[in-house]
Structure formats: structure tokens, C-alpha cells
A and B are shown apart, each in its own frame.
Chain A
Amino acid sequence: MMEDTDPDLSPSPSDQNSSSPSLSVCSSPSLSLPSTPSSSSCPAPGPAPSGTPPLGVISEGPGELSLVIDAEVAQRACQEVLQKVRMNQTEVEVDVGGSQNGAGPEPALSVTIVKPAQIQIREVEDDPGSVKSARRRQRHNPSKQSWLLRLFESKLFDVSMAISYLHNSKEPGVQAYIGNRLFSFPHDDVDFYLPQLLNMYIHMDEDVGDAIKPYVVHRCRQSISFSLQCAWLLGAYSSDMHISTQRHSRGTKLRKLILSDELKPAGARARRDPLALTPFCPAVSGSGEHGLSPSKRTHQRSKSDATVSISLSSNLKRTASNPKVESSQDEPVRLAPQREFIKSLMGIGKRLATLPTKEQKTQRLISELSLLNHKLPARVWLPTAAFDHHVVRVPHTQAVVLNSKDKAPYLIYVEVLECENFETSSVPIRIPENRIRSTRSVENLPDCGMTAEQRAGSFSTVPNYDNDDEAWSVDDIGELQVELPELHTNSCDNISQFSVDSITSLESKEPVFIAAGDIRRRLSEQLAQTPTTFKRDPEDPSAVALKEPWEEKVRRIREGSPYGHLPNWRLLSVIVKCGDDLRQELLAFQVLQQLQSIWEQERVPLWIKPYKILVLSADSGMIEPVVNAVSLHQVKKHSQLSLLDYFLQEHGSPTTEAFLSAQRNFVQSCAGYSLICYLLQVKDRHNGNILLDAEGHIIHIDFGFILSSSPKNLGFETSAFKLTTEFVDVMGGPDGDMFNYYKMLMLQGLIAARKHMDRVLQIVEIMQQGSQLPCFHGSSTMRGLKERFHMSLTEEQLQLLVDQLVDGSMRSLTTKLYDGFQYLTNGIM
């Protein structure tokens, strides 16, 4: 436990004493009351000077609204804690100081709040003893608990630590405090640990569950997407329980509650918490009036709370003042459209799996998606996207079935319109498929001399045009204007003009002559100019689709879409997996992201690309595809070149800038993934699972075999990671500078990762709880993982280790063997 505490996190060395969980018995009551105004005896890391009422000191965010919603939830949580406190009311005092500290680092409160807060707390605390005495006592006893408390209240206390304490602490008080504290973290930060939170909720004891639930419920009320996310994860992580217990488990119940859609904003809350009701709507809406909120506790928590409340309160205000606002009207079907959307995508996957050939699958996929299009636009979105949007169309002809032996994962592109808030913004109107033609013809008329404004005007009329003249207008191929590829550097530019348009003027009797050689030359030049594409192969339809540069694809699809003219049009893509368990993928994603941020923090230029994972259930989900990347298998199969030659073909000769930067990218990504493969013991590293992007980065995908599991347990792939001679060739051979750079990067990366080992371990450890995932098979998973960070080695020893690993991997016969094995069984080169 002590070692686990990262040195960075503790504000002072003495903190090590305080971190033992046993201390928290007494600290628990204090923690539950963070809003008490008394000054702390201990110098808080924050600016709050002791002895003065600290709350008013920093009102950084006066604009931040008091956390209305939290109030109710948090209050209840606090009350629960308080009750426990009453039971073992031995040492009440500490709390006051602790809470005070809380104000320090995150000073979102203004003085106004203080008074009501105080009053309320007194009321509650009447039994345990007077606040004053508590304060006094605390001043004299800077007990161990206060250190823990100080840690909790300190700036450095982040979500990662909160999760860690939540997991490790056996103390209900601490757990409850952290449960409360969750409200104060930015949503995004907590969202990263959502799988951990929910897994703890499902599999750990009741106290942890009780600590987490208020937060989850609160967030569910706020957001549809959070609700669904929770429901999906709860389902997925409950699935490993025995069926009989599963039915009655907390996770299942919470899932049902969420899916029943009872967790709506506004109305429900008002009913439950009449106390908090009055200040909510009117007061909250005005910025800076947070003082009116009755429950000061929440206010004290943090300003990030306040940011939450902003968006929420604005919603509240909306619904309160205007009952006709969609969100309130929609409530019965809040979650339904999205669930339906996901369901139909999964249904397609299931049906595709029954078809025998790739080609049939592809055709079926296209026709199924074209049907799906009829239902769009709708209030549905892709959960893997980073911005709010509505899905308006699935360009069905672009969808491809991915290579898989018996499942039918597929990749779809999705046209979306970005919007402010997908819950409240209105759903776009449907534009029929063929409308594109009119817009296109307008765009393409070269000499109509339209200004941008005019054009925009004409666009806006598109959705409801039924002007006869326009409908009759002819846009045939004769008028079609095509953007020519930029050939201006071409030597035979003048003549190529001729070739584009024939000469129609009959007056000029002089015949125009062209050289046959020029035509032939232009043909081969233009063929060479077009970016290399793979030849279409019905058995591998995804290769061509993935090879096309993303920007080009976006442009092409945008051109062909009836929604393409809208300024907020965006293209997204997603891989739909049906019949695959993505929980391990999610775990790997989390670890990758954690490592990425560690390396970023430590300024190690390792490059990895965590791709987003959405777990929908224990056997389905979605993956955010890596754009502009094809698998090494596809590269080799379609180009018939060695990797180095392919690099030369794509990026130019070895001395060019383009090649060098591609090579650097390759090395940095190789180093990153080598480390990851080693640390996580990623197996099944055949070339189909390693992508190469347009900039030369490699990207490992498919983390189906990590930690304790490997495919078929054949014992192949004993090397630490995959490093073929081809890879080394691209790096410039085993004696080159780049290869040394590679090893150096690995060393730096490993040192950095070691420094923050706990942040990685914690992610994995929590997920092990109650899990039947193959990556947790055996008892030594965690120990093994920990050992691979080699805490005990000196840096010199580490360097030696890296050298050994690299050498071993390079020489590894098993890598070669495994590739051969894959070629034989799956046809993967």
C-alpha cells in the first residue's frame, strides 16, 4: 500500500503514514462534511490561510453556479455517512478541518454560501458535538487522518487516486467521502474510469456500491449518453456472474433502473427532494447566485461541479420555463432511438454472420444499410465520436465487411451533423437521396457565376424545393463539370487541355494535331500520379476502402451526399462487432491511453494510437477505426513488396524528407508498441493485426490476447514483442542510428512507465474483480504485470533488459513460426 502511493501524489513525506486505511475510521465523519467553514489547523496546499473563514477567500468562479443537482444526491450521501458517524461517534472533530481544506484547493465558493451551510451542518451534527470543539481539538491533534485528508483535499488528488482509494480502502467513510468527491472531478476524467467504477459497483461490497451509486445516478439524470454507457457496461460486466446471482445483483438492478428511463432530469428530482427544490430553477439560472443553494456542501466541492451545473441548470431552466421543449416531451423515449439504432446495427451483424461468402456479406450489408437509411436522420449518435451530433445518413455503398473468419465485423461510415447538444438540438430534416443531384448540378455549373452567398441561398432551398422548372432541369453528363486532378506541373499541360475538351469550333479549319506518344505518356503519367490503390478483391473488400486516404473519402462521400452541403456535416466511421467480447479491448484501450498520457507527461516521444472502444454487452460492441491505415497483411498482399520497399514506394527514396519522417514515425510507434506488447503481453501479433498508417506509424490492433491469455495456447510467440527483420530493415538495419534510437526510446518509455506504474496497475487490477476474462486466467496476472515494470532494477540494468528483449525478439524464431502458422490457417501473410 505504501509503495503504491506515488511519491508525486503525496504533498509531504509524512503522508506515507497517513495513507493506511485503518486511520480512516475517524476521518470518515470529517470527510463527509467538507463544507464546514472552520479554518484548518494544517497549512493547506491551497491558498486558504488558517484561522480566517476560508470560503470566501477565493471566488474564482463566481460565475459557476452552485451545484444544484449534486446537492440532493450529495446531501443524501452525506446524511448516510453522518448516520454512520453517529453510530461510532468517537472522533468527530477531525472532519471540520478536513472539509476546510477542501475549500482550499478548489475554491469555488463565495461567502454567501457559508452561512446557510454552517447552519445546516450544525443541525445535522448536533449529536456528534459542536463544531467549534471539533475544530479546536483538531488543531491540537494533527493526526494521521488529517494527512490522508490533506491528500484528499489537495490539488494533487485526482481521479486516478480517488479510484485507487475507493478500491483499496476498506473504510466505508473513506469510500463515501470519495463517492462524494467524485462530483468534483471533471466529467471527462471520471468517464475514463467509468468501467472501473461500474465494475466496483457490481462486484465489490455494498459500501463501495453505495458510495458510487449517487454519482452514477446523478450523471445518468444529466445525460442520455452517460445513461446508455452505464447500462451497456453494467450489462457487460455483470455477465460473468452466475446467472442466478446476476439477476438480483446490484448491477442488474441499476441497469434496469437506467433502462426503465426513470432517471429523468427535472421532474423526478423535484419530487424527491423538496428541500432543494426552491432555489433550483430560478436562482440557479442566474450566474453567480450560487449562494442561494441550501446545501453548501456541494458548493464547496469544486468548481468543476459548477460547470456541470451550468449545463444542467440551463436544461432545467428550459424545461421549467418552457414545458414544450423537446427534452421534456421526449422523455418517455429518451433512450429508445439510440437503443434501437444500436440494436439494428447488431442485428445486421448477426445476419451477416450466417452468409457464407464475403461477397454476399458485403452485398447484404449494403442493402441492409440502405434500409437503415430510411429511418434516418434520428436522435441517434455514434458513442465513439468526440462531439455532439445527429446521425443523418449511412452512405451504404461505402460500408465494407472486414476480414474475419467466422464473425462478421463490418465497417460503416456515418454522416452526421454536428450540433450543440444532441439531446436538445432538433433532429435534422430528412433530405431525400436524389436531392443531391440538384445541388450538385448547381455547384457544377461553371459559368453561372454564382457568388458564395447565392450558392448558399440556393442550398438552403434545397430541402423543400419542388419547383417544376428545377425538377425538369437537365443535368446530364454533358454539363457535368469535373475537377481535374492537379496536373499543372505536367510537361504536356497544353495538350492535356485538348484532351479534356474537344474542339468544337468548326470555323478554325486548321486541323489540330496531337502526338500519339503524348497521349500514351499522359496515360501512364496520370496512372502514376493517382495515389496507389489496391486492386479490388471480393475476398478482401476492406483493403481498398481502408487504403483510400481519409480526406479523399470524406470529400467523395460529401459530394455524393444530400447533406454534404451543410456546414456542420461530418463523416465518422465505426466498426461494428457482433459476437466479439470487447471488454479486453476496452481494458487495453485504457491502459494504452494511460501510458500515452504518462509518456506525454514525461515527454518521451513514443507514439501509440489508442482507439476508442464501446462495449455494448459481453459479446458486442463498436470500435473506432484507425483512419488512413491498412494492415501489414494487406500491404504485403496487395503491393507484393517488402516493407522497406513499400516505404520507398510510398514515401520516396531513403534520403528524402518524406521517407525520413515516415521512418521516424515508424520507429517511435514501434518502440511504443513494443513496450505495450511486452508489458501487456499482447499476443496473436500476426500481420493482420498490425496496421500501417499513411505517415509510417504502425498501430497494433486486436487486443484479444493480452496478459494471461494467448491464442489456442500453442505456446507460439514466446518473444517479448514482434520485431521482424523487415521492421529492422525499415529502421535502417540493426546497426543504424534509428535502431539505437528505437532502443533508447524503449528505455525511456519503460522508465517513465515504471515511474507511474500504479496508474496502470490500478486500471487492470480493478477490472480483474469478478471477471472471467481470459486475460485474467490464473492467479499471477497482476504479479506478472507488476514484475514486468522491474521496479527493482537500476537504469543500467533496465537498459540491459531492453537490449535483451530486443535481441531476443529479433532472433525469435517463434515470430516467424507464428506468421507461418497464420498463413497456413488463416491465409494471413
Chain B
Amino acid sequence: MSQVEKRAGLLRRTSSSKKPLKEKVVLMYDEIFAKEDPAKNNPRFWDELFLMKVNLEYLESKLESVDGEEVQRIQDNINSLFHHCVQALGEEHQIKVVNALQTLCALFRGVHQKNKSASGFDIINMLMGFDKAEQRMKDLMERLDSLLCGDGSESLKSLCLKLLLCLVTVTDNISQNTILEYVMINSIFEAILQILSDVSSRGQHGYDAVVLLALLVNYRKYESVNPYIVKLSIVDDEPTLDGMGMVVHQALTEYNRQYKDKEEENQGGFFSTLTSMVGSMFIADADEKLSVQTNEAILLALYEAVHLNRNFITVLAQSHPEIDIATTPTPPTRPHPQHHLAPLMNNPELPLDPNLQTSNLLITFLKYASIVMQDTKDEHRLNSARLCLIILTCIAEDQYADAFLHDDNMNFRVNLHRMPMRHRKKAVDKNIPSRPLVCAVLDLMVEFIVTHMMKDFPMDLYLRCVQIIHKLLCYQKKCRIRLHYTWRELWSALINLLKFLLSNETTLLAKHNIFHLALLVVNLFNMFITYGDTFLPTSNSYDELYYEIVRMHQVFDNLYCMVLRVSTNTGQWKEAASKVTHALVNVRAIINHFNPKIESYAAVNHISQLSEEQVLEVVRSNYDTLTLKLQDGLDQFERYSEQPKEAAFFKELVRSISLNVRKNVSLNTLSQDVLLKEFSTIS
């Protein structure tokens, strides 16, 4: 109790220092927390209460401080408060609605804060009373729905979403939030969609709506039928899906822009480098984390949309000029600038700025992924990178997505961020050619492969990465698409990866099954060797493949020795390793076939060091005597499925997002002074 007093006191000093007395609203709260029915003496008690400015802190701390026995005593009053809050939402007086929304926020939060360990049922009982809970929540959801869909004030809508976000994130684990059961029954899905489909409301509330949707979809995802999952998966309204894509696009663009600004700042000359070095010791770390965290929710939303809704794939390729947010920087929690794309019928004109590059959600996403993947040491970034790769996996499996990834007419320059490394210069942005989007995906994969060979080996990410490449190759083979890509870069990256696995065998084996990864990599080569005729762009590229294998034969030799050794010993890796030995048969056949030929060519012509052209010549003239073995299932792959493999990851991810969202929402709902002012002038 004393703590509460102190808070009330503090508040008095700051906000109403003239009055020595407690605020009236505080007194009224006190009445609620007394035994008596507050309306007994004052029939207009509830009416008056919602005319008062809410003191969230006081109310929440009061709820927190109620101990076990008291709960029983005051439960009726709290139920009554909840009931009247819900009723007040239907009031015409908007001040009342605002206050009721905030009070509800405080109620949900305060009750949960107090009863962290309590079961969901106790909490429901305390808030609404068991017998009435269903009706109360139905009323609440209906009122929220009509507020969100109505023509009312935008701030009001915003507050509704905040309340919902607050409700969804009160527990760390969303699936333990039993109240959400009622949100499942009384769906507000349609309201969320409506917000997303309308341009102006999307601009202002899109971010919250998308995050809310992403969280709701994750409620008891694996245990029960979640109506939000079902509904999201069948949405086919283009404007709505576009709207959703636009919100994600905007959030990711904003992140990319911030990152770029910072990067440029860091490169802005010697002095700034120095200062930023010093500065970054203190700020940069925290700053970066924050921005990544805010985007995880959006990334989750993107994932759910791509994963669940097959129609959403088209949104990825929906191209539009890159929105220049630089002029109107907006943190994600503030209303977003109104988007110009949607009112198509009225306004076909796009803003005219020759500097704007045409972009689409996929490009923005790839850029974002390239930034996030640069550094995976941090847990959040690792999660983000993993999620990015999962999204890319879903995309690579989708036929329509593959079609536009490989569309020769949709060429883009995609400036992926590359980690500055000692042994290579930072590529100049302007030199990137305009190519089909799949090239950017492959570039991103190659980039990841070459930059993450470290002691703390991100095995999971590597596996996903190699599988994405495999899926793309399968599509190209099936559709006979001959992509003009510099495959050599991929080959040498893969060979280097094998080399890294070999040289760190012992350390890696302690933690990972490196044979699985090695098998996938070798099978990528087998794809090229056996099916190269169906998707390689030129006959020369097939020769180059052989050249590269022969050139790096030592790596394959060593790999073969290693897997042979492991597979002949008895141990946990025996089977995994023996698979690799079988997979290597063609690579070894190539090496064993061409190496002697090349040596004899050198001997005959008395050349010590053969040029590339000479080796290629030897390769070309000796194909016919080489026989390869056709391997099984090279073009088969396991389809991505979230359950059971990824379930744990998503649970953790959602938990971390919940925490983050909760933090942001609480900060925000507490500063609603502006909002109140708005309504006091309106009404």
C-alpha cells in the first residue's frame, strides 16, 4: 500500500501540485478497491469515473498490490468495473470511450502482473467472473470491432489496437493467455483486414494491425484450430493483401534506410569514423538491437503471410517506386505517412522523382536480409536471419514466386549489403547489373556462405541456405530455365565451405552433423553434373564446372578420405558419412578421369603450368570416355513444414516479440495526453 501512496504522491507533485488532495479519480479507484459497491452511494459513480482522466499507474499498481484474500473481496467491484468499461465503449461521449479503453488496458495488465503464476481461468474469473465472461468478452470484441470499422476518430482506432495489442501480449507466452480464447471465438480478423485495405487507415494503423494479426495467428498455433490461421490463409482480396505487403514493405524500408544512414555516417571521413568508433562503444549496440527487435514482429507477419496465404506471393512482386521515407522519418509506433499507391481509381499518378528506384517487397526484403545476415552473433539477429531464410525457403518452394523470380522481363538492380572484409573491396553499388530477381537471391546465398565460416558455426542457417539453392535449381531444371548467372562464384563458395568443414572437423563435430551439410553441398554439384544440360546457360559453363572440380580436386579428395574414414569406423556418424561417400562417386570419377589426362597433356606439351584455356581444352576433348552414375532423387527435396521442426523456434520468437511489443505499447498508452486533449476540444 505504501508503494501506491508514494506513486500517487509523486503524481500529485508533478501534474497537480496545487492540489494537496488526491486526484478525484484516485479516490474513485480507492472506492472500487473497497468492499462496498461504489455505485451504492453514488448511482452516477460509473458515469463520472469515465469522465475522469485515467491514472493508469495508480490503477495498475493498485491491482498489483491486491493480495490473495482481498481478491475475493473486491472481485465483484472489479467485475463491475470491467463491465462498465465495456459498456462505456458504446458511449457517444468519446472521452468516455477513451477512458474506458485505457482503463481496460490497465485492468488487463494489472491483473496479469499480479497473477503471473495464476492460471488463465483465475484471471478471467477475477476480471469478468466466470459465468459472465463469455458475454462480457463478446460485447467487448463487438464494440472494438465496430470502433475499428466505424467512421470514428483515428486516434480512437489507434487506441483500440493498442488495447488489443496489450491484451495479446500480457503473457510472455501467448498460448497461455486464456482470454484470447474469446478473441478466437469473437474474431476481429475482418476489422484488421478492413484497416489494411483502406489507404488512410492503413497508413495510420497498418503497423499495429499487422503485428496484432501476426501475434493472433500464433496463439496456440500447434495445439488447436486457430481461426485466424484459417482466415488468413484464404484471404484473396488484392487490395487487402497489397495493403499488408505495403505495411511490411514500409517497415523494412525504414529499417534499411536507418541502417544505410548509419553506415554512411560511419564512412563519412576520418573524423566521423573516429567519433563514431568512440560513440558506438556506448550507443550503437543498444540502438541496433532495438531496431532489429522492432522488425522481428513485422518479419513474423511477412512469414505468416507468405507461409499461410498463397495469394500473398503475388504481392511480393508487386512493384512500385521505392518510397522515400527519408523526408518523413517515422518510427514504427507513430502513424505512418499516408501511402500514395492505393487510391488508384482517383489518382493514377505516382510521385515523380527520377531518383526513385522502382522496388518491390521482395527486393526490400532481400536487402533487409542481407543486412540482418551480416552479423548473426546477437540472438535477435540470429533469429531474424533464420526467419529470413525460412521465408526465402517458402518463396523458393512456391511455383508462382519462382516464376517471377526467374522472369526475364523483371530485371532489377538489387543492392545487397556486403560485409566489409579484409580480403575484398566493397563492391561499388552502381556496378550491379540489372538481372532477374533470382540472381539476387543466389547472390545473397553465396554471400552468406562465404562470410559465415566461423568457429561458432551457424549450421542451421547453412543448411537452410544450401537447401534454398537446391530448390531454385530444381525449379530451373524442371522448367528448363537457363539463367545467365555466374555459377562459378557459387561453385567456389561451396568448395570453400567444404574446405572449411574439413579443416574444422573436430570442433564442428562436437556440435553438429557436418556430414548432412556436406551431403547437401555435394549433391548440389551432382545436380550440376548430371542435369547441367537442362539449365546451364552455355556449353562453356559445363566445361567450367569440370574445370572448377578438377582445379579444387584436393578438397574433394580430402573430403572423400575423411568420410571414408568415419564411415568405416563405428560411431554415431557412420551412416551419415557413408552417404557422402556414395554422393561423391561422380565427382571422384571426374577427378580421376581428367587429372591423368591433364598431366599427360602437360607432359606431352612440356608445360609445367597449364592455362585455364588449355585445361578446358583437355576437358572438352575427353568427355566421351567418361561414364557417370545417375544418382537417385537429386531433384527431390523435402518440403518446408513448420511443425514439428520449427515449432520451438517460433514459440521462442513469438515470446520475444510479445515482450517487445508489450514494452512499446505500455510506453505509448501512458502518454495519451495528446489524445485526451484532442477529444476535449472535439466534444
Contact = CB atoms under 8 A, between A and B. Distances in A.
B596 to A, nearest CB: 15
A433 interface: yes
Nearest to A477: B475
A427 to B, nearest CB: 15
B57 to A, nearest CB: 47
Nearest to B626: A516
A434 B310 contact: yes
Contacts of A522: 533
Interface in A451-510: 466, 468, 471-472, 474-478, 480, 482, 484-485, 496, 498-504, 506
Interface string A511-523: 1111111011011
A165 B399 CA distance: 64
23 contacts: A364-B358, A366-B358, A367-B319, A367-B320, A367-B350, A371-B348, A374-B238, A397-B407, A434-B313, A440-B399, A466-B234, A474-B639, A477-B471, A482-B478, A499-B531, A502-B634, A506-B632, A511-B629, A516-B626, A520-B542, A520-B620, A526-B533, A560-B403
Given A397-B410, A434-B236, 4 more contacts: A370-B318, A502-B633, A513-B627, A560-B403
Instruction: Report, nearest first, the 6 A-B pairs whose CB atoms are least far apart.
Output: A363-B358, A517-B623, A517-B624, A523-B533, A516-B626, A512-B630
Contacts of A354: 352, 354
Contacts of A788: none
Interface string B645-673: 00000000000000000000000000000
Contact of A482 (B407, B412, B479, B630): B479
Given A360-B354, A375-B344, A433-B314, A477 B397 contact: yes
A545 interface: yes
Given A371-B350, A432-B236, A466-B236, A502 B630 contact: yes
B434 interface: yes
A466 B230 CA distance: 12
A375 B345 contact: yes
B408 interface: yes
Nearest to B410: A397
B347 to A, nearest CB: 10
A538 B409 CA distance: 11
A356 interface: yes
A559 B403 CA distance: 11
B618 interface: no
Majority secondary structure, A binding face:
helix
Contact of B627 (A432, A499, A514): A514
A446 to B, nearest CB: 13
Contacts of B352: 351, 354
Contacts of A441: 399
B534 interface: yes
Contacts of B350: 351, 367-368, 371
Interface string B220-239: 00000000001001101010
A520 B634 CA distance: 19
B56 to A, nearest CB: 43
A553 B392 CA distance: 30
Contacts of A512: 629-630
Contacts of B398: 476-477
Contacts of A374: 238, 344
B67 interface: no
B410 A519 contact: no
Contacts of B403: 560
B410 A366 contact: yes
Interface in B388-417: 397-400, 402-404, 407-413
A321 interface: no
B313 A371 contact: no
B631 interface: yes
B399 A480 contact: yes
Contacts of B238: 374, 432-433
A512 B314 CA distance: 41
Is the contact region of chain B dominated by helix, strand, or loop, or is it mixed? mixed
B628 interface: yes
Contacts of A362: 411
Interface in A359-399: 359-360, 362-364, 366-368, 370-372, 374-375, 397-398
A366 B404 CA distance: 13
Nearest to A373: B344
B590 to A, nearest CB: 8
B310 A468 contact: no
B474 interface: yes
Contact of B542 (A480, A499, A519): A519
A513 B628 contact: yes
A806 B484 CA distance: 45
A434 B348 contact: no
Contacts of A440: 399
A516 B345 contact: no
B536 interface: yes
B349 interface: yes
B532 A371 contact: no
B554 interface: no
Contact of A519 (B311, B358, B404, B533): B533
Interface string A430-458: 00111011001100000000000000000
Contact of A480 (B344, B479, B538, B631): B479
Interface in B282-320: 310-311, 313-314, 318-320
Nearest to B312: A434
B531 A434 contact: no
B341 interface: yes
Nearest to A479: B399
Contacts of B236: 432, 434, 466, 471
A375 B345 CA distance: 7
A502 B354 contact: no
A485 to B, nearest CB: 7
B478 A480 contact: yes
B399 A503 contact: no
Contact of B409 (A367, A432, A545): A545
A267 B559 CA distance: 88
A779 interface: no
B412 A363 contact: yes
Nearest to A525: B533
A470 to B, nearest CB: 10
A516 B311 CA distance: 42
B310 A437 contact: yes
A471 B310 contact: yes
A372 B314 contact: no
A520 B546 CA distance: 11
Contacts of A555: none
A471 B630 contact: no
Contacts of B632: 502-504, 506
B357 interface: yes
A187 interface: no
Contacts of B590: 516
Contacts of A480: 399, 475, 478-479
Interface in A400-445: 432-434, 436-437, 440-441
B539 interface: yes
A520 B542 CA distance: 7
Contact of B539 (A375, A517, A520): A520
A115 to B, nearest CB: 57
B480 interface: yes
Contacts of B479: 477, 480, 482
Nearest to B480: A482
B349 A511 contact: no
Nearest to B475: A477
A573 B215 CA distance: 46
| From B530, B533, B624, B631, residue with most partner A Cβ within 10 Å | B533
Nearest to A370: B319
A432 B479 CA distance: 24
A477 B473 CA distance: 11
A524 interface: yes
A363 B317 CA distance: 12
A477 B349 contact: no
Contact of A516 (B354, B471, B627): B627
